[in-house]
Amino acid sequence: MGSESIKLSEGWSQFYGPNLGYMLEKFDDYQDDPESVEEDLAAFFQKWGAYQETAEKQPAAPVAGTEENRGKQDYYTAINAMRLAESIRRNGHLMADIIPVRLDEVKDILNYEEFDLTREELKLVPPELLSPHNYESFNNGLEAVDHLKETYTKRMAFEIKQVHDIEERRWLFRQVESGRYLPELTNDIRKQFLERLNQVEGFEHFIHKTFKGQKRFSIEGLDAMVLMLDEVVRESVEDGAEKMMIGMAHRGRLNVLAHVLGKPYELIFSEFHDAPNKDLVPSEGSVGINYGWTGDVKYHLGADREIHEDQTDVTITLANNPSHLEFVDPVVEGLARAAQDDRSKPGKPSQDMTKALPILIHGDAAFPGQGVVAETLNMSRLDGYATGGTIHIIANNLIGFTTVSGDSRSTIYASDLAKGYEIPVIHVNADDVEACVSAMHLAYTYRQEFNKDIVIDLIGYRRYGHNEMDEPMTTQPSLYKKVKEHPTVFNIYGEKLVQENIVSEDEFNSMRDKLNEKLTNHFENIKGNKRETIDGDMNPPEYVEDRLEGIETAVDRDTLKKINEELLQFPENFNVFPKLGKILNRRVEAVEEGGKIDWGHAETLAFASIITEGIPIRLTGQDSERGTFSQRNLVLHDYENDSTYYPLHGLSEGKASFTVHNSPLSEVAVVGFEYGYNVQSPETLTIWEAQYGDFSNGAQVIFDQFISSGRAKWGQKSGLVLLLPHGYEGQGPEHSSGRMERFLTLAAENNWHVTNLTRANQYFHLLRRQAKMLKEDVSRPLVLMAPKSLLRNELVACDLTSLAEGEFKPVLPVDGLAETPDKVKRVVFASGKVAVDMEERLASLDEKPDWLQIIKVEELYPFPRTHIKEIIDEYTNLEEIFWVQEEPQNMGAWHYIHPHLLSLTNSEIAVEFVGRRRRSSTAEGDPKVHKLEQNRIIDEATTRDGEGSNE
Ligand SMILES: Cc1ncc(C[n+]2csc(CCOP(=O)(O)OP(=O)(O)O)c2C)c(N)n1
C-alpha cells in the first residue's frame, strides 16, 4: 500500500484487512519517532490519532457471508503472517544452521502451518507488512517470509530483541534484513581467504608433526577466527584507529600470534624447539615480544605489532595473559581506556573512543562460567570505564576441556549472559568463512555507530582433545566420531572455490605443499640453535633491585598555601552543602594558622601538588568520590541543583588531568581495569581503593597473576597504588583486615611496596614518592593499608612544616621515649593502628617508662633492614624485642617479620609475639570482646613485671 492512496479526510475507516495491519504498524513507528514515517502518513496520524474500534471509524458493516467474512479472513491472515515474521526475527536462531557438528536434529518451528497459513494465503499479504526494511524487493508476502527465513535461520543467526534502544534495534534489523552489512567479496578477496585458511591450518599441522607431543591448543575448527581478526584489523586501520587491544586465552593463541600479531614463525618454532630466540629479529613490521626474567609459557605471552600504512600508525597489542581464564578481560579494557584518554590537560581526561578498539576472545565454557566476564560487561557503559564498545568473540568449540555445555551452563547459548546487558549477539557457523567475516563486519560497524559492545558467538568444534595430547573419544565418543569425519574449513572453502572456478584444482592442491616448504625453511633457520646451557638464575635487572632513595617529595610552604587556598575557592553561585562547607573551611586554619592537617587533607594536598607537577591522577573505588568514611570529598555536589565541582580542577597551576570515579560494586574487574590502565599509561598515578581492605580478596587473581608477578613473567611494569582500609576497630571479621599477610607473602624481587602508616605527612610523602618514580624503571606498585578511625585521630594529623620538609620514612620511633638509650630493655616493633593505640596509651601517662622504645614500621616490604639495625644497635642493654600486632598470629606481618628481626639480632635476643592467638577468623564479632583483646595486647606490650603503663 502506498501512502499516496491514503485519504486524509476519511480517517481510519478507509482501512481494513492487511492495510489496517500495515497502518497500525506504521502508527507504532510514528509513535516511536514521528520522522520515521512518510509525511502523508505523519499528517494522517497527527489528524486522526490512534486507531479505535468505534462504530464511525470502522468500515461500513458489510453483508454477512460476503465482504465481512473476507475482510475478517484477510485480517487474520495478515496478523498471522506478521506473527510469523516476528517469530522468525525472534526465534530464527533456534533453528539456524549455526553448528557445524551437531548431534541433535533441528526442528522447523517456523513453518507456515504452525501459524495457520498457506503459501497461497501468504502471497496475498503485502510484503511491507512483513519486511518494512526492504519490502520493495518482494512481490508478495511469501517472498518476504522466505527472505526472512533465509536471513535468520541460515549460517548466521541474530539475537537483537534485548537491545532496548529503539533506534539501535531498528538499525540492526535494517542491516540484517537488507543485507547491507554483507561486505563485497571479490574473487581476489576470496582467494586471499583461502590462502589464509591454508596458513592457519597448515601452521597447526606443521607444529603437530614437527614438535610431537607438545601442547599448542590448536585453533582447528575455529580457523575462521583469524580471518575475522584480519577483517577488523583492516577496517580499523582504514578508519585510523591508533590501537587495537586483544585479550584471549590459550585456544588458537599461537595462530593469532603468528598471523595477526605477525610473530615470526622462527620465533614460535624456536620456543617449541628450545632454541635461544630472544635475539631473533622480526622479518617485517616491528614486533615486540614480552619477556620478564622468570618468563612464561609460550601460549600466555603477549606481543605488539606496529602497522605503518599511508599516514596511519596502528599498534596491535595482544595482552599478556595468565592461565586464569577471562581475568585478562578487564585488563584489556583498562589498556584500551588509557589509550583513549588524553590526560595532558587539567580537568577530567578527555576521551576519544575512536583511538583504541578492544577485542576480547572468550571460551564457550569460560564466558558463562567466570564471574569476571559479567563484571567486565557491566563496566562497558559506565562513564569511568567505557571504551566505546568491545567486540567479543566467543571461540565456541562446544566443549570446555572434557565438559559439555549441558554441564557448564544453564542457558542455551554460551553468549546468553551478554543479553542481560542489552548486547546484540550474532551466532555464526565457523564452517562458513564468508559468513564469519560478514559477522565481524557487522559487529565492527555497530561498534563504530553506537560505541557499544557486541558479541559474536563463533560456533565451530575442537579438532583434537583439549591440548592435542588428550583423547576426546574417551569422554565424547559420538561427537568425536562426527568431528573426525568432518572436513576441515580449508577443504570446505577450497572445494567451494574450485566449484565456482575461482581457483583451479591444481592451484588448490599445491597450496599446502608450497606452505610446508616455507614453514620448513623457517624451521631450518633455527633448527641448529638448540640451547646447550640453561641459565637458572633468572635475576631481575638492577633497576628492579634498586631501593627507592633520593626522591624528593617536600613541597614548599608557599606553594602549599596557594594550593590550599585555591582548593577552597568554589565557582560563583556554587552551593556547597553547609555542613561540608564548614568542615572544609577548617582547612584554612590548618594551613594558615599552624593547625592540624588530617589524612584526607594531606591526601588532597598531595594530589594537588602532583597534578601541578604535570603527573595525571586517576582514583577509583567504591564511593571513592566522597570517601567511604566521608574523608575525601573530591567531588562537591551543589545542594540546590546537584551540579558537581572538582576542586582539583580549579588549580591555576594544574598541568595534568585528575579524575575520581565511584566504581561499580566489583573488586576483580575494577582492579584488573586499573592495572591495565596503569600499564598502558605508566605516567599516571593510578589508584584503586577498596571500600574495606577485606573486600580486596575478591580481586586476588589480579594481585597474584598480574600485579605481583607481571613484571617477572612478562616484563610488564606497573606503578598501581592499592589503598586497603585496615585496622581492628571492633567492626567484626569483615571490616578489620586488608589481609596484609597475603601481600607480604607475595612480596619478593621488589615487586611492590607494602606499607602501613601512622602519620598523615607520611602518606603525603609516600604518594608523592610514588608519583615521582612512575616514569622511571624503578617504578613498582604500592600497597597501602589505609586508615579508618585514624583518619580523624589527632595523633595522626600533621602540620604544614612536615609537608614542606622531609620525606617518607620507612620507620618512625614514638616521640618522647628512650631518652636514655642505656635504659632501654625492650624495643617494641609494630605497624599501623595498633602502634597508634600504644602511642595513645603512653600519651596518657604522666611518666613514660624509660625501659621501653616503640618503633613503628611504616614500610614493611622491602624490609627496612638498615634503619632497624641502627635502632637495635643503639640500645646496648636491650633484653627483649616484641613484635606487636592486632591480627591473629597466623595473619598480619608476624610470619614475614619474625625471621627478619631474628636475623638482625643474630638470634641472640628472642623476638616475642604479642597479638591475637592463631585464629581461623580475622577478628571478633563482638565489639566488647574486641576491646578486651585490644587492651590486653596494649597492656602486654607496654608493661613489664609490674612496671609500666597499665591504667
Ligand atoms: C579460572 C580458570 N579455571 C580453570 C581453568 C582450567 N581450564 C583450562 S582450559 C579449561 C576449559 C576451557 O574451556 P573453554 O572456555 O570452552 O575454552 P576451550 O579450551 O574449549 O577453548 C579449563 C577448565 C583455567 N585455566 N582458568
Q: Which pLDDT tens digit goes with each residue over 539-587?
A: 888 888 877 788 999 999 999 999 999 999 999 999 999 999 999 999 9
Kindly state the DSSP code that residue 252 receives in the 8-state scheme: T
CA of 402 to the centre of ligand 1 (A): 10
Secondary structure element (H or E) that encloses residue 205, with its range: helix 187-210
CA of 249 to the centre of ligand 1 (A): 8
Residue 886 in contact with residue 916, Cβ under 8 Å? yes
CA of 41 to the centre of ligand 1 (A): 55
Q: How far apart are CA 201 and CA 465, in angstroms?
A: 16
For residue 900 and ligand 1, the question of a CB distance below 6 A is answered with no
Among 554, 494, 442, 531, residue whose Cα is nearest residue 179:
442
Q: What is the pLDDT of residue 747?
A: 98
Q: What is the pLDDT of residue 145?
A: 95
How many angstroms separate the Cα of 630 from the Cα of each of 6, 310, 568, 584, 600?
A: 65, 53, 17, 12, 9
Q: How far apart are CA 512 and CA 488, in angstroms?
A: 13
CA of 303 to the centre of ligand 1 (A): 22
Q: Atom 2 of ligand 1 has which residue's CA nearest to it?
A: 324
Rounded to 5°, angle at Cα 132 from 140 and 136 = 50
For residue 365 and ligand 1, the question of a CB distance below 6 A is answered with yes
> Which range, of 19-23, 27-31, 821-825, averages the lowest pLDDT?
19-23
Backbone angles phi, psi at 798, to 5 degrees: -130, 180
**The ligand 1 atom nearest the CA atom of 370:** 1
Output the nine-digit C-alpha cell for 642: 546537584
CA of 367 to the centre of ligand 1 (A): 10
Q: How far apart are CA 499 and CA 505, in angstroms?
A: 9
Q: What is the pLDDT of residue 308?
A: 87
Within 10 angstroms of residue 377's Cβ, the number of other Cβ atoms is: 24
Sequence-ordered alpha helix ranges (H) in 136-186: 141-153, 166-178
For residue 253 and ligand 1, the question of a CB distance below 6 A is answered with no
Strand duo 391-396 + 399-400: pairing: unpaired
Q: What is the pLDDT of residue 64?
A: 47
Residue 585 in contact with residue 747, Cβ under 8 Å? no
Site to substitute for ligand 1 among 297, 397, 401, 479, most atoms within 8 A of C-beta: 401
**The ligand 1 atom nearest the CA atom of 251:** 21
Residue 820 in contact with residue 875, Cβ under 8 Å? no
For residue 220 and ligand 1, the question of a CB distance below 6 A is answered with no
Q: Where in 37-78 does DSSP place strands (E)?
A: none
Output the nine-digit C-alpha cell for 501: 572456478
Q: What is the pLDDT of residue 1?
A: 58
For residue 401 and ligand 1, the question of a CB distance below 6 A is answered with yes
Rounded to 5°, angle at Cα 905 from 899 and 909 = 95
- Of residues 98 and 844, the one with the higher pLDDT is 98
For residue 251 and ligand 1, the question of a CB distance below 6 A is answered with yes
Residue 346 in contact with residue 656, Cβ under 8 Å? yes
Q: Atom 7 of ligand 1 has which residue's CA nearest to it?
A: 401
Q: Atom 26 of ligand 1 has which residue's CA nearest to it?
A: 324
For residue 767 and ligand 1, the question of a CB distance below 6 A is answered with no
Among 300, 235, 233, residue whose Cα is nearest residue 261:
233
Among 560, 681, 675, 556, residue whose Cα is nearest residue 615:
681
How many angstroms separate the Cα of 792 from the Cα of each of 75, 596, 631, 757, 797?
A: 75, 10, 9, 14, 7
Output the nine-digit C-alpha cell for 866: 638498615
**The ligand 1 atom nearest the CA atom of 367:** 15
pLDDT in tens, 845-881: 889 999 999 999 999 999 999 999 999 999 999 999 9
Average pLDDT over residues 46-61: 57
Q: Atom 12 of ligand 1 has which residue's CA nearest to it?
A: 400
Kindly state the DSSP code that residue 59 receives in the 8-state scheme: P
For residue 323 and ligand 1, the question of a CB distance below 6 A is answered with yes
CA of 366 to the centre of ligand 1 (A): 6
Site to substitute for ligand 1 among 216, 325, 372, 393, most atoms within 8 A of C-beta: 325
> Which range, of 297-306, 357-366, 481-490, 604-613, averages the lowest pLDDT?
297-306
3-state secondary structure of 156: strand
CA of 400 to the centre of ligand 1 (A): 6
Q: What is the pLDDT of residue 58?
A: 38
pLDDT in tens, 183-208: 999 999 999 999 999 999 999 999 99
**The ligand 1 atom nearest the CA atom of 401:** 11
797 strand-pairing partners: none
pTM, two decimal places: 0.91
Kindly state the DSSP code that residue 308 receives in the 8-state scheme: E
CA of 251 to the centre of ligand 1 (A): 9
**The ligand 1 atom nearest the CA atom of 366:** 15
Give percent helix, percent strand, percent coil of the chain, each to the nearest 5: 45, 15, 40
CA of 882 to the centre of ligand 1 (A): 47
Where residue 443 falls among pLDDT bands split at 50, 70, 90? very high
Q: Hunting for cell 602502634 — which residue is that?
A: 835
**pLDDT of 911 strictly over 80:** yes
Q: What is the pLDDT of residue 187?
A: 97
Q: How far apart are CA 548 and CA 765, in angstroms?
A: 13
For residue 670 and ligand 1, the question of a CB distance below 6 A is answered with no
Among 364, 325, 358, 327, residue whose Cα is nearest residue 457:
364
**pLDDT of 951 strictly over 70:** no
Query: What DSSP string runs through 262-276?
Result: ---HHHHHHHHHT--
For residue 408 and ligand 1, the question of a CB distance below 6 A is answered with no
Q: SS3 letters for 312-342?
A: EEEEEEECCCCCCCCCHHHHHHHHHHHHHEE
For residue 322 and ligand 1, the question of a CB distance below 6 A is answered with no
Kindly state the DSSP code that residue 610 receives in the 8-state scheme: H
CA of 707 to the centre of ligand 1 (A): 22
Q: How far apart are CA 319 and CA 676, in angstroms?
A: 9
CA of 669 to the centre of ligand 1 (A): 19
Q: How far apart are CA 458 and CA 466, in angstroms?
A: 18
CA of 323 to the centre of ligand 1 (A): 8
Q: What is the pLDDT of residue 425?
A: 98
Output the nine-digit C-alpha cell for 210: 614437527
pLDDT in tens, 361-406: 999 999 999 999 999 999 999 999 999 999 999 999 999 999 999 9
Strands laid side by side in the 826-830 sheet: 811-813, 852-857, 826-830, 880-888, 911-916
CA of 405 to the centre of ligand 1 (A): 13
Residue 570 in contact with residue 645, Cβ under 8 Å? yes
Where residue 121 falls among pLDDT bands split at 50, 70, 90? very high
CA of 409 to the centre of ligand 1 (A): 13
Where residue 60 falls among pLDDT bands split at 50, 70, 90? very low
**The ligand 1 atom nearest the CA atom of 466:** 19
Q: How far apart are CA 769 and CA 629, in angstroms?
A: 25
Q: How far apart are CA 590 and CA 450, in angstroms?
A: 49
**pLDDT of 473 strictly over 90:** yes
For residue 400 and ligand 1, the question of a CB distance below 6 A is answered with yes
Residue 331 in contact with residue 668, Cβ under 8 Å? no
Kindly state the DSSP code that residue 280 receives in the 8-state scheme: P
Find out whether the peptide bond into 183 is cis, omega within 30 degrees of 0.
no
Q: What is the pLDDT of residue 638?
A: 97
CA of 470 to the centre of ligand 1 (A): 14
Q: Atom 9 of ligand 1 has which residue's CA nearest to it?
A: 401
Output the nine-digit C-alpha cell for 139: 512481490
Residue 677 in contact with residue 710, Cβ under 8 Å? no
- % of the chain residues with pLDDT over 90: 80
How many angstroms separate the Cα of 19 from the Cα of each of 15, 88, 136?
A: 6, 22, 16
What's at 271, amino acid-wise? E
Rounded to 5°, angle at Cα 560 from 557 and 564 = 140
Cα four-point dihedral sign 919, 921, 923, 928: negative
- Kindly give the interhelix angle for 166-178 and 433-450, rounded to the nearest 10 degrees: 150
For residue 366 and ligand 1, the question of a CB distance below 6 A is answered with yes
Give CA 608 to chain center in angstroms: 28
**The ligand 1 atom nearest the CA atom of 395:** 21
Among 577, 653, 572, residue whose Cα is nearest residue 615:
653
pLDDT in tens, 592-643: 999 999 999 999 999 999 999 999 999 999 999 999 999 999 999 999 999 9
Q: How far apart are CA 886 and CA 729, in angstroms?
A: 10
pLDDT in tens, 735-762: 999 999 999 999 999 999 999 999 999 9
Q: Atom 20 of ligand 1 has which residue's CA nearest to it?
A: 400
Average pLDDT over residues 424-431: 98
Residue 521 in contact with residue 513, Cβ under 8 Å? no
Within 10 angstroms of residue 543's Cβ, the number of other Cβ atoms is: 11
CA of 247 to the centre of ligand 1 (A): 15
CA of 104 to the centre of ligand 1 (A): 25
In sequence order, what are the residues at sequence separation of 6 or more whose Cβ sits closer than 8 angstroms to the Cβ of residue 28? none
Secondary structure element (H or E) that encloses residue 887, with its range: strand 880-888
**The ligand 1 atom nearest the CA atom of 324:** 26
Strand duo 947-948 + 943-944: pairing: antiparallel
Mean pLDDT, rounded, of the chain: 92
Work out the burial of residue 815: count CB atoms within 10 Å of its CB; fewer than 13 is exposed, 13-18 middle, 19 or more buried: exposed
Strand duo 721-725 + 782-786: pairing: parallel
CA of 439 to the centre of ligand 1 (A): 25
Output the nine-digit C-alpha cell for 96: 539456524
Domains of the chain: residue spans and CATH: 1-52 (no CATH), 67-154 (no CATH), 187-288+305-342+355-527 (3.40.50.970), 557-805 (3.40.50.12470), 811-942 (3.40.50.11610)
Among 428, 38, 392, residue whose Cα is nearest residue 222:
428
> Which range, of 301-305, 423-427, 756-760, 938-942, averages the lowest pLDDT?
301-305
For residue 399 and ligand 1, the question of a CB distance below 6 A is answered with yes
Rounded to 5°, angle at Cα 565 from 564 and 569 = 120
Residue 132 in contact with residue 117, Cβ under 8 Å? no
For residue 325 and ligand 1, the question of a CB distance below 6 A is answered with yes
Q: What is the pLDDT of residue 765?
A: 98
